[in-house]
Structure 1
Amino acid sequence: MADIRDDFRRFEEMMNRMFEDFWGRPRRQLLPSGERGEMLPAEYRQPFIDIVETDKEVIATAEMPGLEKENIKINLTEDRLEISAETKKEEERKEKGYVYRERRSGSYYRAIALPSPVDPNNAQASYRNGILEIKMPKTEVKEKKEIKVE
């Protein structure tokens, strides 16, 4: 039995997609969308994600530049994908007459409903050049059958 929170999360994702399509960029989230239902801070960025569905798998590709793969966390269930990451960098250079110090930090979070049920135990993820790719095999691979019209 689906939890009512799952229904609200799907509704939120639909509304967020609608706002993204209308405004051309992600807007503030309307409902709590953290892992445990808490509101996400405004400094969280939502990575752009492409979802491709083939006969045997669902492939998610997310743009997440500037991260180390060790800082990326993926939670996957049969019908939902959650991606989060945090990065913190501190750089300091001392040169003749001055000290250069820079601190950067950033956080990513995105949760999406998947178009088909997947097998979380056999999913694979890779991260190269700022692009995260997650391949998720479908649990039900259905064969297409052509039906003739009479």
Structure 2
Amino acid sequence: MDPFSKKLFKELEQMQQQTGRMLRNMTIARMVPMDTGGWEPPVDIYEAEDEIYVYVDIAGVDRQNLQVTVDEQRLLIKGKRQLPAQASIACIHQLEIELGNFQRTVVLPSMVDVENTSSSYADGILVVRLPKRVKKGKVNIEIQPGE
């Protein structure tokens, strides 16, 4: 492949990545403010054979300011992000980091075992591991005599 074609393909690939980021940031949920006045962190969901992994991008959030709640079908992540105050700031040129309270509810792709759910938080990424609920086989139900 000639150098011009290589450069063209590389630029197209970069445009595709940038377009993907832009479209992810333009989801309706992120564009419309929540009733609580908060923001929603981006989430990735992966499914393995036996469990579901949820990754939440919450860089800068203190672990003490996080709350994770799960039921068999939904995961709720709440928290608050605050940046340290700088007394010497005289002018703001750009604001892109979302601050304050946030909340994100994720509908899970399958039922999960709530009792064995675990999470970890490192390098600004919250990882929630949700084992899938083991489906029970057939169950015989005893028929009681009616009254």
Which residue of 2 is the match for residue 100 of structure 1? Answer: 88
Q: Percent identity?
A: 25
The amino acid that maps onto 2:26 is G
Which residue of 2 is the match for residue 15 of structure 1? Answer: none
Aligned equivalents of 2:41, 2:65: Cα separation in 1: 14
- The correspondence for 1:76, drawn from 66, 70, 78, is 70
Q: Cα 1:121–1:23, aligned 2, differ >3 Å: closer, same or farther?
A: closer
- The correspondence for 1:121, drawn from 109, 115, 120, is 115
Which residue of 2 is the match for residue 40 of structure 1? Answer: 36
Which residue of 2 is the match for residue 146 of structure 1? Answer: none
Q: Which structure's CA Rg is the greater one?
A: 2
Q: Cα 1:140–1:64, aligned 2, differ >3 Å: closer, same or farther?
A: same
Q: What's the Cα RMSD here?
A: 2.9
Which residue of 2 is the match for residue 57 of structure 1? Answer: 51
Q: Cα 1:24–1:137, aligned 2, differ >3 Å: closer, same or farther?
A: same
Runs of 5+ consecutive residues of structure 1 not aligned to the other structure: 1-19, 34-38, 93-98, 143-150
Aligned equivalents of 2:130, 2:24: Cα separation in 1: 29
Aligned equivalents of 1:85, 1:51: Cα separation in 2: 19
Q: Give 1:132 deviation, angstroms.
A: 0.4
Preserved CA contact (<8 Å) 2:119 2:128:
yes
Aligned equivalents of 1:141, 1:106: Cα separation in 2: 40
Point out 4+ residue stretches in structure 1 off by more than 6 angstroms. Answer: none
Q: Give 1:24 deviation, angstroms.
A: 2.6
Aligned equivalents of 1:89, 1:100: Cα separation in 2: 14
Preserved CA contact (<8 Å) 2:63 2:121:
yes
Aligned equivalents of 1:56, 1:109: Cα separation in 2: 27
Aligned equivalents of 2:24, 2:116: Cα separation in 1: 36
Aligned equivalents of 2:52, 2:24: Cα separation in 1: 26
SS state of the match for residue 47, structure 1? coil
TM-score (norm 2): 0.61
Q: What's the CA shift string for 1:91-132, capped at 9, x where partnerless?
A: 35xxxxxx6379x95222110110010011111110111100
Q: Cα 1:129–1:140, aligned 2, differ >3 Å: closer, same or farther?
A: same
How many residues align structurally?
A: 106
